[in-house]
Structure 1
Amino acid sequence: MAKLVVFKDKARRALEEGIAQLTNTVRFTLGPRARNVLLEKKFGAPQIIHDGITIAKEIELEDPLQNTGARLIREAAEKTNDVAGDGTTTATLLAYAMISEGSKNVTAGANPVNLRRGIDKTVAYLLKEVESLAKPITDRKTIAEVATISATNDPEVGEMIASAMDRVGRQGVITVEESKSLDTDMEVVEGMQFDRGYMSPYFVTDAERMLTEMEDAFLLITSSKISAVQDLIPILEKIAREGRPLLIIAEDIEGEALAMLVVNRLRGVLNVAAVKAPSFGDRRKAILEDIAILTGGQMISEDIGLRLDTATLQMLGRVRKVTVTKDTTTIVGQGDTTTQVEKRVAQIRKQLDQSDSEYDREKLQERIARLSGGVAVIKVGAATETELKDRKLRIEDALNATRAAVEEGIIPGGGTVFVHLTKLIPDFKTSLNAEEQVGANIVMKALSYPLEQIATNAGLEGTVVVEKVKELEPGFGFDALENRYVDMVANGIVDPAKVARSALQNAASIAGMYLTTEVVIADKPEPEAPAPAPGGGMGGMGMGGMGMGRYGHGWHGHGRHGHDVELPLASSRLPNNNPQGIPQVRWGSLHYSWVNLKRRLSLKGADEMGWEEDKSQVPL
């Protein structure tokens, strides 16, 4: 594919146009009086979005250079979201402000490399100040305040997240799911739960509720597939003599082995149930090892030299209670393996610190929570699908912000800290050279943008609010919800320090890359292929062009106005539009309607390709 190569100011201008378009789209979602963005979806209902990163990911611009700029600033939001889980709009605004101010200086002749050094040194100094301002979360009330602010001042969400952390701990796993009801509520699943149910309904012990319950049971854990009866008989005989229930967790149980378990269960010889192991591949083995450690047993696997037919009672786990439904299995350990569980959790935390994958990190956190004793599930309800998706995104943001606050503490919110940090820059920049000082000035101007936008979204003059806040003592700022100047922390308006730090750090990184860019190389758009010209003919008697198409025949169409039309032969699919409104084609010696041609050739439906189906036509 041909490439566009653009240099210097022209390149930066094109990038800045794309950056401005994305920023102007997300800026309205900042603050307690923010607006929404309505996103058209290709499938399903339109989506109302209040989340900066979700909006940014949906924006693709037609111009390749502008789109490169939009993707560049989107990276600041994505990095902030990956690290802190919130603050994506703030990061976008800060990056745009630094880029906008920096571009003016580069155009005026400033050295981009020195500007970047000045920005980096100033931001590094300010990050230390943010860290020193952060106060650790000490009570439940502060957790609720952080969640409330991040959920656009929804106290119900704040209280729910605080309750969830009370139940499962600040390091516990809290998941957000869509509810089938109108209400939003929370439930806590005690013990270890995974999404696999019983292999046969014959294992059910409570027919009314269709579940299996066992107490003081053995647990047989294996990563193997069980199909031979002979593998199970030795251990089953030992368990039968003990007279205790048994739960088997295996990759799969099939054929005679499953039939034998069902028969013994129905005859009352053995109280047994079987479930498939959760997850897949290496993650499945890791989860089985977690279950074994929690229950004081061993995972029986040929990989480590253990076989089912030689298993002993000492290899089995022991559980206080087991509950199995058709979809889930919940195991509550006996609580006598605390030391081993703590070692296992510490091992998983090391893996968590080393993992770069967001998906892997999420799964590792789930494993920690299962071992630690519970998972809280917030079930989001709403009247419509559009409202449901918006509310779910807000709750996820609030949850991420709360976790960040627990990790690194809180600072005064509402963009207040950024504005007060500008007062420190004049003294700091005396240690920089002349052009680096220009970089420091760029950061100083950019720091006012978040508060200015919050005030603008509240219907006020942003610059006036910023100047007023600069006159106030540190910690005091603007309450955009009530239109007043207050002590932010005392009034519960707080932000996670981690969110502010990540937003500033990532914004400076992207701005520095932009300012030192001299050449942009992007894909050159391919010109659109001209529409095929209609063939000649009269009164339906004309002969369309012949050729060898994908299926060895020429494609022909009978026009509604009595003339043949030749269609493209080189394409592997039908054209995307039908300017002639053709209802029939000729394939070989037969005529077909589009719908019947589709059936004959097993192509996609004519409606998917933009061709009109004329169902009144039949093969001639």
Structure 2
Amino acid sequence: MSGSNAVHDRLEVGDTDDVPSRARNFEAGKRLAETVRTTLGPKGLDKMLITDDGKVAITNDGASILERMKLSHPVATLVLEVAEGQDTTVGDGTTSAVLLAGELLGEAEALLEKGVPPAKITEGYHLAVSQAVESLPELTVPVDLADDERLREIARTVVTGKWDESGTDFLADRAVEAVRAIERDDCVAFERLTRKTIPGGSFYDSAVIEGLVIDMGESPTDVVSPDATLPNRYRDATVALVDEELSIDTARGVGSVDLETVEELEALREYERDAYEAYADTIAGVGADVVFCQQSIDDPVRYLLAERGILPIERTQRDELHRLARATGGKPVPVESLTRATTGTAATVERRSVGPTDVTVVSGLEELEQVSVVFRGGTQHVADETKRMLDTCFYALKLAIEDEAVVPGGGAAEVALAREIRSMAAGRSGSEQLAVEAFADALETIPRTLAESSGFGPTDALLALRNAHHDGDHTAGLDLETGSVVDAAEAGVLEPLYVKRQVIASAGEAASMIVRIDDNVPMAPRGEESGHDHDHDHGPDGLIRSTEGYPWAVGHSMGH
């Protein structure tokens, strides 16, 4: 899936040899940032993503947009890696990170035109990042994270603007419900959370279900019992987990068996009957009520298990088999290794329908509790968007609970940090001072963009924020409904500190790395490089690993 052809064309490596490489690099990074700029914030606009074969997806999630774009310029790819790292690490702040990186490149370009050396620019950016990271904890807002309403406020900050007020409240409630269910001792264990998207119905049908939900259509798990009289619910069920198929072994390459007499046919049938009986007897012998098999189950085994009152479920995906092991305390083993010690226990195993989809819900022991969130929507795209938004909520709530640190949103943190960074810059005397001040200016692109995307004048909004912070109101942020300055903490506009810290660090790292590049050098394909006799310590793909220079200067050594 890709963005528009126009965006693709702008981000390709051009054939304009008269344009310096550094200028083209900066332009690629800035244009990528411009692509996602209008999606920032609760009032951000959507992008229509169109594939080459005409398929369409609509989203305003920066990570989703960027990962689907066709990018051929190497610097655009580097900035994309910032987005991927931000999304993987903290699950939020992707658009902010790319936008800030693009703004930093624009500031660096202006500094270079003034004659500031690249080394001084990266030094100034490094100083500014260090100051921001040091100052962030001072901006944290004390919150009682045992209060579910506070958590709902954090979730609403993520969701607001994507749905109406009732939809926002509904998703915030589901996010808090799910996170509370997997929280233990102020630690949120995502490994106990399973997420399923099932189209059909309304997104208001999305639900948190205690237990592991196995989608029969997606797995592709199939309830294979031919006996319709088997119950739909088993209580205090013993669960067997088999990680092989329950079928007759055949020699590889043998397509048929030639039988010349009736006795040979009867002997073959008896062999198969004995093998199937052995499978069923082994499973019944361990006291199993339900058996989950990772591969297929032959029809005769299905009948034999059903006769013994055992529910067989085949073709369970390997990751689901491992989740079942966590949920029930069982162990996936070959059938010949199945014993009572390898079985697990489930409070209930229930077959039910969720919209048009059949699922099996397994509820395990309390100490091994598994929780599932089923995301619904009228179409697969709506269900996927609901899942994406709730995933972002889960990350935000996890970080808030485990770090016990949140900062005011609405641009409050960025303006406060810009003020601190400018104060630090005043004490510098070298040309790096200009880069430190430029970093502060770039930070304020976040509140400017929030105001602009909400339909308010960015200059007036930023000036009002600066005045409020100058008067000592360090939690002053923008009310994006009215355009006025409010106390963001009191308004419940809160964001995890770790997300802000990662945004600033990632954007500073990417911009500094790009600033240090003065030329793009084509490389020979692997295997065609000429030999050399110097003793650099090379990492993967021949990149020099260095312990010198700045931490973001991957492959850069001050000695080369």
Calculate the TM-score normalised by the size of structure 1: 0.65
The answer to whether the Cα contact below 8 Å between 2:197 and 2:383 also exists between their aligned partners in 1 is no
Q: State the partner residue of 1:227.
A: 247
Of 79, 88, 108, 2:114 maps to 108
Task: Sort the Cα spacing of 1:386 and 1:254 in 2 relative to 1 into closer, same or farther, 3 A.
Answer: closer
The answer to whether the Cα contact below 8 Å between 2:29 and 2:79 also exists between their aligned partners in 1 is yes
The answer to whether the Cα contact below 8 Å between 1:29 and 1:50 also exists between their aligned partners in 2 is yes
User: 2:490, 2:462 → 1: CA distance?
Assistant: 20
Q: Show CA shifts across 1:28-71 (max 9, x none).
A: 1223333333333434564433222333344447xx6xx33433
Task: Sort the Cα spacing of 1:261 and 1:152 in 2 relative to 1 into closer, same or farther, 3 A.
Answer: closer
Moved more, 24-33 or 292-301: 292-301
Task: Sort the Cα spacing of 1:164 and 1:91 in 2 relative to 1 into closer, same or farther, 3 A.
Answer: closer
Of 99, 105, 112, 2:105 maps to 99
The answer to whether the Cα contact below 8 Å between 1:40 and 1:47 also exists between their aligned partners in 2 is yes
User: 1:133, 1:10 → 2: CA distance?
Assistant: 42
Note the C-alpha offset of 1:81.
1.8
Q: Show CA shifts across 1:451-496 (max 9, x none).
A: 1111222333312221221121110122121221111110122222
User: 1:101, 1:459 → 2: CA distance?
Assistant: 25
The answer to whether the Cα contact below 8 Å between 1:455 and 1:465 also exists between their aligned partners in 2 is yes
Q: State the partner residue of 1:169.
A: 182
User: 2:439, 2:280 → 1: CA distance?
Assistant: 71
Paired positions, count: 461
Quick one: which amino acid aligns to residue 372 of structure 1?
E
Identity of aligned residues (%): 21
Q: State the partner residue of 1:37.
A: 47
| Matching of residues 290-309 of structure 1 within 5 Å | 291-292=324-325, 294-301=327-334, 308=336
Q: State the partner residue of 1:142.
A: 150
SS of 1:22 mapped into structure 2: helix
Quick one: which amino acid aligns to residue 513 of structure 1?
M
| Matching of residues 428-443 of structure 1 within 5 Å | 428-429=424-425, 432=428, 434-443=430-439
SS of 2:474 mapped into structure 1: coil
Q: State the partner residue of 1:11.
A: 21
The answer to whether the Cα contact below 8 Å between 1:239 and 1:313 also exists between their aligned partners in 2 is no
The answer to whether the Cα contact below 8 Å between 2:120 and 2:432 also exists between their aligned partners in 1 is yes
Task: Sort the Cα spacing of 1:311 and 1:163 in 2 relative to 1 into closer, same or farther, 3 A.
Answer: closer
| Matching of residues 501-540 of structure 1 within 5 Å | 501-521=501-521
Of 357, 360, 364, 1:329 maps to 360
Structure number with bigger Rg: 1
| Matching of residues 68-87 of structure 1 within 5 Å | 68-87=74-93
User: 2:310, 2:109 → 1: CA distance?
Assistant: 72
SS of 1:34 mapped into structure 2: coil
Task: Sort the Cα spacing of 1:277 and 1:415 in 2 relative to 1 into closer, same or farther, 3 A.
Answer: same
The answer to whether the Cα contact below 8 Å between 2:246 and 2:301 also exists between their aligned partners in 1 is no
User: 1:254, 1:394 → 2: CA distance?
Assistant: 38
Of 367, 373, 377, 2:374 maps to 377
Note the C-alpha offset of 1:246.
2.7
Q: Show CA shifts across 1:4-35 (max 9, x none).
A: 99999811221222233222222112233333
Quick one: which amino acid aligns to residue 113 of structure 1?
A
User: 1:312, 1:387 → 2: CA distance?
Assistant: 44
The answer to whether the Cα contact below 8 Å between 1:176 and 1:396 also exists between their aligned partners in 2 is no
User: 2:381, 2:291 → 1: CA distance?
Assistant: 42
Is 1:490 matched with 2:531? no
Task: Sort the Cα spacing of 1:235 and 1:31 in 2 relative to 1 into closer, same or farther, 3 A.
Answer: closer
Q: Show CA shifts across 1:94-152 (max 9, x none).
A: 11221111112122222211221221122022113223433453422222222222223
User: 1:295, 1:391 → 2: CA distance?
Assistant: 29
Of 446, 451, 460, 1:464 maps to 460
Quick one: which amino acid aligns to residue 226 of structure 2?
Y
Task: Sort the Cα spacing of 1:491 and 1:247 in 2 relative to 1 into closer, same or farther, 3 A.
Answer: same
| Matching of residues 106-505 of structure 1 within 5 Å | 106-135=112-141, 137-153=145-161, 154=163, 155=165, 156-167=167-178, 168-170=181-183, 171=188, 172=190, 173=193, 175=195, 177-195=197-215, 197-205=221-229, 212-227=232-247, 230=274, 233=277, 246-252=289-295, 254-255=297-298, 258-263=299-304, 265-266=306-307, 270-276=308-314, 278-280=316-318, 283=319, 287-288=321-322, 291-292=324-325, 294-301=327-334, 308=336, 312-324=339-351, 327-335=358-366, 338=367, 371-381=368-378, 393-408=388-403, 409-429=405-425, 432=428, 434-472=430-468, 473-505=473-505
Q: State the partner residue of 1:52.
A: 62
Note the C-alpha offset of 1:418.
0.8
Quick one: which amino acid aligns to residue 499 of structure 1?
V
Quick one: which amino acid aligns to residue 321 of structure 1?
T
Moved more, 27-36 or 119-128: 27-36
User: 1:48, 1:311 → 2: CA distance?
Assistant: 48
User: 1:391, 1:295 → 2: CA distance?
Assistant: 29
Note the C-alpha offset of 1:506.
1.0
Task: Sort the Cα spacing of 1:404 and 1:237 in 2 relative to 1 into closer, same or farther, 3 A.
Answer: closer
SS of 1:29 mapped into structure 2: coil
Q: State the partner residue of 2:263.
A: none
The answer to whether the Cα contact below 8 Å between 2:203 and 2:375 also exists between their aligned partners in 1 is no
Quick one: which amino acid aligns to residue 170 of structure 2?
E
| Alpha-carbon RMSD | 3.6
Task: Sort the Cα spacing of 1:232 and 1:11 in 2 relative to 1 into closer, same or farther, 3 A.
Answer: same
Calculate the TM-score normalised by the size of structure 2: 0.72
The answer to whether the Cα contact below 8 Å between 1:5 and 1:520 also exists between their aligned partners in 2 is no
| Matching of residues 542-561 of structure 1 within 5 Å | none
The answer to whether the Cα contact below 8 Å between 2:461 and 2:478 also exists between their aligned partners in 1 is yes
User: 2:301, 2:384 → 1: CA distance?
Assistant: 47
Quick one: which amino acid aligns to residue 224 of structure 1?
E
User: 2:75, 2:296 → 1: CA distance?
Assistant: 54
Moved more, 20-29 or 472-481: 20-29
User: 1:390, 1:193 → 2: CA distance?
Assistant: 20
SS of 1:323 mapped into structure 2: strand
The answer to whether the Cα contact below 8 Å between 1:187 and 1:378 also exists between their aligned partners in 2 is yes
Note the C-alpha offset of 1:517.
0.8
Q: Show CA shifts across 1:541-596 (max 9, x none).
A: xxxxxxxxxxxxxxxxxxxxxxxxxxxxxxxxxxxxxxxxxxxxxxxxxxxxxxxx
Quick one: which amino acid aligns to residue 172 of structure 2?
I
Note the C-alpha offset of 1:86.
1.9
SS of 2:195 mapped into structure 1: strand
Quick one: which amino acid aligns to residue 87 of structure 1?
G
SS of 2:20 mapped into structure 1: helix
Runs (5+) with no aligned partner, structure 2: 1-12, 249-272, 524-560
The answer to whether the Cα contact below 8 Å between 1:235 and 1:311 also exists between their aligned partners in 2 is no
The answer to whether the Cα contact below 8 Å between 2:49 and 2:58 also exists between their aligned partners in 1 is yes
Task: Sort the Cα spacing of 1:149 and 1:518 in 2 relative to 1 into closer, same or farther, 3 A.
Answer: same
